[in-house]
Amino acid sequence: MMDPTLIDFNFTHQAHWIIILPMLGFLLELIIGKYWWRKGGMFATLSILGSMIISFGCLYNVYVQEMPFYEYSWEWFYPGIVAGFTIDPLSLAMLCMVSFISFFIHFYAIGYMAHDCAKNVYFAETALFTGSMFGLILANNLLQLFIFWEMVGVCSYLLIGFWWHRPEAAAAGKKAWMSCAVGDCLFLLGIAIMFTIMVGTPGVSATEPISFNQIFQNLGHLHHAAPIFGIPALTLICVLFMCGVLGKSAGFPLHVWIPDAMEGPTTVSALIHAATMVTAGVYLIARAFPIFLAAPNALMIVAFMGAFTALYASTLGLVVNDLKRIFAYSTISQLGYMIAILGCGAVLGVTAVAYALFHLVAHAFFKALLFLSSGSVLHGIGNVRDIKEMGGLLKGMPWTGYAMLAGALALIAFPFTAGYYSKDMIIEESYIYATHGGALGYMVWIFLVLGVILTATYTFRAWYLAMTGEPRSYPAVHPHECGIWMKTTLIVLSVFALGLGIMTGGGHKFWDFLKQTFEQETLTATGAYPGLDMHDIAHYGGNTLMHHGAHPPQWVIYLPLLLMIAGIAIATAVYYKNRIDVSKYVKKDNPIYQILWNKYYLDYLFKDILAEKIIMTLFTFWDVLDRYVIDGVVNLLSWITIQSGQVSRKLQTGMVQNYATAVIFGVSMLMILVIMIRGGI
Amino acid sequence: MTLGENFELLVFAVLAVVLIFTAIMVIASKEIVHSALYLLGTFATVAGIYILSKATFIGIVQIFVYIGAIGILIIFAVMLTTREVGG
Amino acid sequence: MIPLEYYLLLAGILFAIGAYGIMTLSNGIKLLMCVELMLNAANMNLVAFSTHINDASGQVFALFSIALAAAEAAVGFAIILMVYRLRAEIDIDNVKLLRW
């Protein structure tokens, strides 16, 4: 243990600099970045290094020195609308993870983007991206969170379409924006309803109606709020929040933007998938966890959507040939695991948040590693992304190859890697949820377990096809290894992807720290919010928390391990040893392959049916209405104005005498009127 | 009515007659220069009325500003715009 | 003491003469002269009331009015001069810049 008196500085009171520094980095990079060192990159990287130092300083304050959790808010533009930041284990875990990963991705990008002509713009945008994510994490109220949430969305749009001159990239950026916007609208609606019922519920004395702590303190009153459309108000709010989460965290059915988002630079994919974007949704559920817990049935929906997404995305990962897209589907799948375990919080309580966050952090490390190593592959063989055209790259780029292997092992939860501790715990705990949660609970568990074997298969399929065997195209014959910037990053991330679980004592240190989140009091500038009693809150939502940790049977603990080994075995047999020939199944006339290849026709449904048939038809009606009715009214008004002007312009004779006469006449009339009304002067 | 009041009334009557006459001549005279001079007369008469009604200061200001400044301004304007006398 | 009504009657007559001039005349300079007549009528009213109720504020208003009239006259005659320079005439019947 470190000496608690080693550093005598209260970083938690300087937490606003975590947001401000990257914003400064953004401005400097945009304005003068082009004329400095390597034409961009320095300001962004250094500013995020600064944020990282403050974040870890806050962690040191709270974890080692055991300072109280801290919340600061100041009034913004309307009584009760505040801006502020919260320092508690939840935000600290996210802050440290985001700043650390983002710093190393920036570090890597100095090498990766070295030859891009708009490098300073790229770094400005990533700095803004990271800064917005910090703002989202630190937000102590829903409105601030939503503003930064949208800023994250804007930055993802800009960065996915960074190579805008390629039409696919521009379209992908637009798709990301549109899919998120669907969820974000509903999320905003949820915030509005929350504001209304916070202000309108009798007994609520909220001075800051949408601050998280105020909402949590008043949950006892809020769950009496009148139902809306027959749905309990809190459940409706949570479902609307969940829609925002599905958009941002790429849950089914709004995940469609994730595979296309691979059109951006690989560092952007890494940033989106590991640190800054998709984790926002999971973080929102974790941050608003007491609200979900107090809302009847809300966590059940969360658990089911998460588990379904986890299984659904891993089936798609099996057939995709684009290296980056395979990892993209694995992200969707892993996010599904996180959302599912948060849903299991209906039984597990705040421990579920700890499990989800640990998987989130572990996932951030190994997914950043996977994306950065695939970026290195792309860099090395001239932007070939199809794994059918790779092969045998391990000889040419061993560093990259073994880094990717490390990431893959962590992803499939190979024993003693980071993913092993985080994901297996999720599956075990979901079994405990299942034993309390009935048929739907077992479905959640089955989905998660099935996801394990698929994950192992598709991950090793990608690794074997890319790294082993004979080169299958010309660029793959002579790959060149990446430079020192990128190699350093890969090594650091490999160490964490493999060792994070062991470093945190099998995750227990992390979980014990995170479990304190809602149940300890939070200091503010003027007072303190008392800790929440999660059992009471669970009762509001009809949930019952377990009082003591239950242990699942032994076979449940070993099942994921066996399935994972089975998955690796399948991948090895098919793609490494070539014992099984799958080519007779992988054909266009195989209906199952056809469905998977077309991503369950979801893109078809959204684009061809929903967008082009239904919405375009509605637009035609709207167009007629617009052209003839609305335009007609406008034209009528302008016609009346012109005609009345034509008539009344004759009054303007230009003769001063006429004007004077009119004035005198008018004044006389006025005086007569006054006399008539008042009966005298 | 005392003698003083009668005298005052007499002065007022004289000033009123002069005032109305000069004012009418301002708009009635053909020569614009005459108009201007009649206007100065009007101003002077009004100043007299002010002094008569015990507002001596305003009366003196009236003489300064109206006769001294505006009157000269008008005569200048007349001189600068009229081509020949009687035009 | 002259009754208040006499003053008011005299001011009314003066105002009417000025108003008549404004409505009928076409010479720009004469028009401005008539404006001055009307302003004088108004000032006379102020002074008369001020004397009548024995309160100096009416005179203060008259003073302001005089200052304003001086400024107005200066601007007005400047405009007339500019019009004369452009059109070589000051008959405002022919100067219809504001006509439709």
User: What pLDDT, in 10s, does the model give residues A506-515?
Assistant: 888 888 898 8
- Other CB atoms within 10 A of residue A1 CB: 4
Q: Does C5 touch chain A (CB under 8 A)?
A: no
C97 SS3 class: coil
Number of domain units in chain C = 1
Distance between CA C52 and CA C70 in Å, rounded?
26
SS3 label, residue A120: helix
Is residue C38 a part of any domain in this protein? yes
Q: How confident is the model at residue A441 (pLDDT cuts 50, 70, 90)?
A: confident
Q: What's the rounded Cα separation, in Å, for the pair A147 and A143?
A: 6
pLDDT category of residue A5 using cuts at 50, 70 and 90: low
Asked whether the predicted pLDDT for residue A681 surpasses 80, the reply is no
What average pLDDT score do residues A169-182 get?
89
Residue-wise pLDDT tens digits, A281-325: 999 999 999 999 998 888 999 999 999 999 988 888 888 888 888
Identity (one letter) of the amino acid at A237? I
Per-residue pLDDT for A202 more than 80? no
3-state secondary structure of C94: coil
SS (H, E, C) C34-49: HHHHHHHHHHHHHHHH
Check whether A672 has a pLDDT greater than 70: yes
pLDDT (mean) for A420-427: 90
Chain A contact present for C94, CB below 8 A: no
Neighbours of A600 (CB within 10 A): 15
- Looking at residue B86, what is its pLDDT? 46
Are the C-beta atoms of A419 and A410 separated by less than 8 Å?
A: yes
Q: How far apart are CA B32 and CA B38, in angstroms?
A: 10
- Please say whether the beta carbons of A380 and A393 come within 8 A: yes
- Domain extent, residue C55, equals 26-92
* b/e code B36-61 from CB counts within 10 Å (16+ = b): bbbbbbbbbbbbbbbbbbebeebbeb
Mean pLDDT across chain B, nearest whole number? 88
Chains near C, with 3+ CB pairs < 8 A? A, B
Burial class (CB in 10 A: 0-12, 13-18, 19+), A392: middle
What percent of chain A shows pLDDT beyond 70? 97
pLDDT over 80 at A602, yes or no: no
**Exposed/middle/buried for residue A139 (C-beta within 10 Å: 0-12, 13-18, 19+):** buried
What span, in angstroms and rounded, lies between the C-alpha atoms of C76 and C98? Answer: 17
Q: Which of A464, A325, A459, A466 is nearest to A390 (CA)?
A: A466
Chain C stretch 27-56, residues whose beta carbon is closer than 8 A to a beta carbon of chain A: 31
Residue in chain C lying closest to A649 (CA): C100
Cβ of C22 within 8 Å of Cβ of A660? The answer is yes
Query: Tens digits of per-residue pLDDT, C48-94?
Result: 999 999 888 989 999 999 999 999 999 999 988 888 888 888 888 88
Locate all alpha helices (DSSP H) within A69-141, ordered by sequence: 89-112, 119-138
Contact call for B66 and C36, based on CB within 8 A? yes
Nearest CA in chain C to B61: C63
CATH number at residue C82: 1.10.287.3510
Q: Do C29 and B58 touch (CB under 8 A)?
A: no
Residues of C in contact with B61 (CB under 8 A): 63, 66
> Which member of C44, C62, C70 has the closest CB to residue B70?
C70
Query: Is residue A3 predicted with pLDDT exceeding 70?
Result: no
CA distances from C77 to A17, C29, C32, C33, C90 (A): 65, 7, 8, 10, 11
Cβ contact B–C (≥3 pairs, < 8 Å): yes
**Does residue A433 contact residue A348 with C-beta atoms inside 8 Å?**
yes
CB A587 within 8 A of CB A593: yes
* pLDDT at residue A544, rounded to an integer: 82
Contact present, A213 and A153 (Cβ < 8 Å)? no
State how far the Cα of A642 lies from the Cα of A149, in Å rounded to an integer.
48
Strand arrangement of the beta sheet that strand A69-78 belongs to: A81-87, A69-78, A522-523, A528-529
pLDDT at B85 over 50: no
pLDDT of residue A557: 86
- The confidence score (pLDDT) of residue A4 equals 63
Residue A271, CB-side half-sphere exposure with 13 Å CA sphere: 32
> Is any Cβ of chain C less than 8 angstroms from the Cβ of A598?
no
C77 domain residue, yes or no: yes
Count of CB atoms within 10 A of residue A9's CB?
10
At position A475, the amino acid (one-letter code) is P
**Helix residue spans in A529-678 (DSSP H):** 534-540, 554-571, 591-597, 602-603, 616-624, 631-648, 656-678
Q: What is the pLDDT of residue B87?
A: 43
Can you tell me the mean pLDDT for B63-81? 89
**Cα–Cα distance for residue pair A464/A575, rounded to 1 Å:** 6
CA–CA separation, A241 and A245 (whole Å)? 6
Per-residue pLDDT tens for A449-508? 999 999 999 999 999 888 888 888 887 787 888 788 888 889 999 999 898 888 888 888
Cβ contacts of residue C70 below 8 Å, gap of 6+?
Answer: B65, B69, B70
**Chain A CB contacts of C95 below 8 Å:** 654
Rounded distance between C-alpha atoms, residue A236 and residue C42, angstroms:
73
* C-alpha dihedral (A198, A202, A204, A205), degrees to nearest 10: 110
B83 residue type, one letter: R
For A514-562, the pLDDT digits (tens) are 888 888 888 887 788 888 888 888 888 888 888 666 788 888 888 889 9
Q: Are A585 and A597 in contact (CB under 8 A)?
A: no
What is the rounded average pLDDT for all residues in chain A?
87
Complex ipTM: 0.88
- In order, the DSSP letters of A183-252 are HHHHHHHHHHHHHHHHHHSTT---SSTTBHHHHHHTHHHHTTSPPBTTB-HHHHHHHHHHHHHHHHTT-T
Query: pLDDT digit string (tens) for B10-30?
Result: 999 999 999 999 999 999 998
CA distance A572 to A564: 12
| A13, pLDDT greater than 90 | no
Report the CATH architecture of B3-80. Answer: Up-down Bundle (1.20)
| Predicted pLDDT at C16 | 93
Q: pLDDT tens digits, residue range A124-161?
A: 999 999 999 999 999 988 999 999 999 999 999 999 98
d(CA A517, CA A3): 23
> Which of C24, C34, C66 is closest, CB to CB, to B62?
C66
For a pLDDT cut of 90, what percent of chain A falls above it? 30
A650 vs C: CB within 8 A? yes
Chain A environment of C24 (Cβ under 8 Å)? 657
